[in-house]
Amino acid sequence: MHGVKRVGQSKEALGAKKQREQAKIKDYLALTDDLLSRKKDKDWSKEAFDLTTRLLQVNPEFYTIWNYRRSIMLNGLFPPSSPEEINSLLASELSMTTAALKAHPKVYWIWNHRQWCLENVPEGPGQDGADFHGWRKANWDRELYVVEKMLDADARNFLAWNYRRYVLASMPIQRPKVSELTYTTRKIETNFSNFSAWHQRSKVYTSLWDSGSLDPIKCQEEEFELVRNAMYTDPNDQSVWMYHRWLVGSGKLYITVGALRQLNSTAL
Amino acid sequence: MEGYVDVVVLGTGLTESITASALSKAGYKVAHIDFNPYYGADEASLSLDELIHWVDERSSLESEDANSYLESQKSQFISISRSASKLPQSRQYSLSLAPSLIPSVGPIISSLVSSGVARYGGYRLLERVGVYDISGTIKAVPGSKEDVFKNKDISLVDKRRLMRFLMFAAGEFEDKKEIDGQENTPFLDFLKISFSLNEEIAAVIAYSLAYCVSASDTTLPALLRIRKYLHSAGRYGASSFLVGHYGGSGEIAQGFCRTAAVAGGIYVLGRRVTAITGPVPQPISEDESTKLSSYSVELEDFPEKLSCNLIISSQDHVLPHLLPTAKHIPPSTPSSGMQPYSFIARCIAIIDRPISFSQQSSALETEGIEDSASSLDEPPLQQNIDTAVLVFPPSSLPGGSATTAVHVLITGEACMATPNGKWTVYLSMPLLEHSSSPESILKPYLKAALSLTTPSSADSSTEPLFATYYIQRLRCSPTPSHPFPSRASDPSSTVLITPPPSTLLPESSDSATINAEAVFRAAIHTLRYVHSTAGSANFDDGETESFWPAIEADPADEADEW
């Protein structure tokens, strides 16, 4: 966690801890051996699937097992199932990984697995119109909600921000970019010591300026005002100066040199 | 022995209730009595009908020869008036005689947690603090870095100065050069001189962050309060304060009484004490060999007399004949750097439209755009606040006081204080002298607050549905000619009088807790002494009991919720 110091432990405490862990390690190694040999034997059964669940609860970073799990789904569980069953199987995958993310918010492989699940949601439930994307839309909306909860818990989780960009891009019905701007504003106002939020803002603005949806000059004037407020409130915060640097030196300088000079003279 | 308790506590006000709970949990047998048919005494939460009865009882002109309690109450609460209206759903109102804010860090919250009383009640985070501006609007109070950043009314340079002050106030300022020699200078002057803050910002800090009451309030106590509140921010949410459900203090007092009962305390409400005799040596063991000096307490319509070794009582509940030998426990913060106010004007009003606090507009024009997937959580233009504090600094209201601030607490349905669609407005203003009626003093402020409500219909008037006004006489602070006795003094006084809590909105509950601990320690000190003089125990006063017994951490508490 940000800004939390590690606490040293006494020799006795460490020794006791080691002993408790021995038993756990033995179980873990046995389970690992079992699964890896099943994988080699192309065991696509439900039993194997459940074993992967157990192992991944203990060690969600074991990406081989995530791969095996997906193979089991593709080869063993999906073929005999109807689209509804596949959808509900993936839904339960998503809720399982949600729980895993609460405990391990920065493990790439969990996010990765979610992406795979989302991408494999079948078309449906209906044949046409809104229904055609029904399941997908529901899943992507829920995905955005999950990401927002993660960011509420830790607004500086850069994996979550990256994932947010992926989700926004993947939604079958796109949300307007301006609403993303509002979201970054909200996060910045809550605590402007947040590189990721400022970074997101810069990306959104770049795309809006390039597409011609917003006027760069007006935007930049407002952004300089915002940044100045942040600088005067807390001159020591680095993320503000980084954003300022982007505003000034992005190579797409739309304001005049005169305005720059004025900024220099009032900055502390 | 039948009817024998260690302590009889008279009055279930917040201070007495905390004390009773601590003594019960420490193993002493406590009988806790209140003459009123409800808990809380002068801090009680009352239904509307109960409040009306309370008002009528104290404003009646009959003399109270036989009832010393009512006589004391009538000298404490004076110049009472109320509107004639009666409203339906009386039981859905919880109106507090002592409105209070609970700082998220401090004695009351620690005691609530340590005693387990916190589990009995609900608490709501204060949503907004606003300051009334002479232009007739409510301005936001910049109490944190986020507030300062977003505020559109403060210039950039002033933002820097304000942040400098806030960082100073939140840190260890006792040794800093800015405060050297300035402890007793007026806080407003200190802000303007040492931190170059302008008049307006200094007033906002003094009156709505430090809860000062006048321009002469001194620096050190104000800084200590600000630091406490700054450290409280963020613990449960952005605001530094919680507001208790069901009227706050009264409900909390009841919670402490409940834990006292669980630990073996006896509770009697709505009975008067008809006589207290003693102390005389009375046997306390079966073979009558050990005798302790005990009081004998008779209650009306109660078959048994209670025997006890110690009486703890509030000023109003005590029987007058005990006063000459009683020990008054000194209050925790006798003066808080403020003038010696003798009175406080109060108003409790019920309104049916919410007061609108201006939307804290962000630095960019982004209102109205839905930005969140969880848009159900946060209506973006919410202005109608349920739980808020509004401060009127001196001279902010034309026709109002030019010397004293008025603090207003608004609570609504979300605090379980009112039925749906109603809000309670509490106003209070300290007074040096009592020359005008409380209604004439406070009504202009109530009207100003009402003028800020969101009208619900074209013909809505700016009158409250119900209002009562009264003046509370404050018990005197110690003066040089009548100093309170020193704390560590003689343990032989077996009647202890509890001090009243502070009347300042964010200090009242904390002061009750600190006072309760002082009473608790004095009580134990005395009980041990009494037992030692009777030969039934050695006078071992070396070991200090902790205020609350240790609680075990509950592993089931850590469930996350999405």
Residues in Cβ contact with A65 at an 8 Å cutoff, skipping those fewer than 6 apart = A35, A52, A55, A56, A59
ipTM (interface predicted TM): 0.71
What does pLDDT average to over chain B? Answer: 85
State residue B270's pLDDT score. Answer: 93
Region A119-134 average pLDDT = 72
Region A108-122 average pLDDT = 87
Query: What CATH number corresponds to the domain at position B16?
Result: 3.50.50.60
> Chain A residue with minimal CA distance to B366?
A182
**Within an 8 Å CB–CB cutoff, is residue B559 touching chain A?**
no
Residues A159, A106: contact at Cβ < 8 Å?
Answer: yes
Q: Strand, helix or coil at B66?
A: coil
State residue B22's pLDDT score. Answer: 95
Q: Which two tokens stand for residue B58?
A: 């104290």
Shared domain for B277 and B237, answered yes or no, is no
Are B149 and A230 in contact (CB < 8 Å)? yes
Shared domain for B396 and B254, answered yes or no, is no
State residue A247's pLDDT score. Answer: 84
Angstroms from A183 CA to nearest CA on chain B: 5
**Within an 8 Å CB–CB cutoff, is residue A178 touching chain B?**
yes
State residue A150's pLDDT score. Answer: 85
Shared domain for B223 and B154, answered yes or no, is yes
Region B410-415 average pLDDT = 93
Shared domain for B162 and B136, answered yes or no, is yes
Give the closest residue to A226 by CA, choosing from A257, A192, A196: A192
Query: What CATH number corresponds to the domain at position B400?
Result: 3.30.519.10
Per CB-CB distance under 8 Å, the chain A contacts of B237 are none
Is position B479 within any domain? no
pLDDT per residue over B68-111, tens digit each? 899 899 999 999 999 988 899 999 999 999 999 999 999 999 99
| pLDDT for B560 beyond 60 | no
Is position B562 within any domain? no
> Chain A residue with minimal CA distance to B369?
A179
**Within an 8 Å CB–CB cutoff, is residue A179 touching chain B?**
yes
Angstroms from B380 CA to nearest CA on chain A: 11
Task: Choose between B227 and B285: higher pLDDT.
Answer: B227
Assessment of whether the complete model's pTM goes beyond 0.95:
no
Extents of the domains making up chain A: 178-268
pLDDT per residue over B470-524, tens digit each? 999 987 644 444 445 544 456 678 899 999 999 999 999 999 999 999 999 999 9
Are B156 and A228 in contact (CB < 8 Å)? yes
Q: Which two tokens stand for residue A106?
A: 């920065």
Q: How many residues does chain B have?
A: 562
Instruction: Band the pLDDT of B367: cuts 50, 70, 90.
Output: very low
Residues A191, A155: contact at Cβ < 8 Å?
Answer: yes
Residue among B148, B149, B374 whose CB faces A148 most closely: B374
Instruction: Band the pLDDT of B555: cuts 50, 70, 90.
Output: very low
Are A183 and B371 in contact (CB < 8 Å)? yes
Residues of A numbered 227-246 whose beta carbons fall under 8 angstroms of chain B's beta carbons: which are they? 228-230, 232-235
Instruction: Band the pLDDT of A257: cuts 50, 70, 90.
Output: low
State residue B61's pLDDT score. Answer: 83
Choose the mutation target among A150, A184, A189 for the interface with B, i.e. most B CBs under 10 Å: A189
Q: Give the least confident one: A122-136, B179-193, B365-379, B454-468.
A: B365-379
How many contacts (CB atoms, under 8 Å) link A and B? 67
For residue B142, the enclosing domain spans 95-244+336-472
Is position B547 within any domain? yes
* B351-373 CB burial, b ≥16 within 10 A, e <16: bebbbbbeeeebbbebeeeebbb
Are A185 and B366 in contact (CB < 8 Å)? yes
| pLDDT for B439 beyond 80 | yes
The secondary structure of residue B125, as a DSSP letter, is: E
Q: How far are the Cα atoms of A128, B276, B285, B477 from residue B288, in angstroms, in the given order?
A: 94, 22, 5, 44
Q: Is residue B150 packed enough to be buried (19+ CB in 10 Å), middle (13-18) or exposed (0-12)?
A: buried
Instruction: Say how many domains are in chain B.
Output: 2
Is position B88 within any domain? no
Is position B515 within any domain? yes
State residue A266's pLDDT score. Answer: 57
The secondary structure of residue A108, as a DSSP letter, is: H
pLDDT per residue over B376-405, tens digit each? 334 444 456 899 999 999 999 998 899 999
| pLDDT for A260 beyond 80 | no
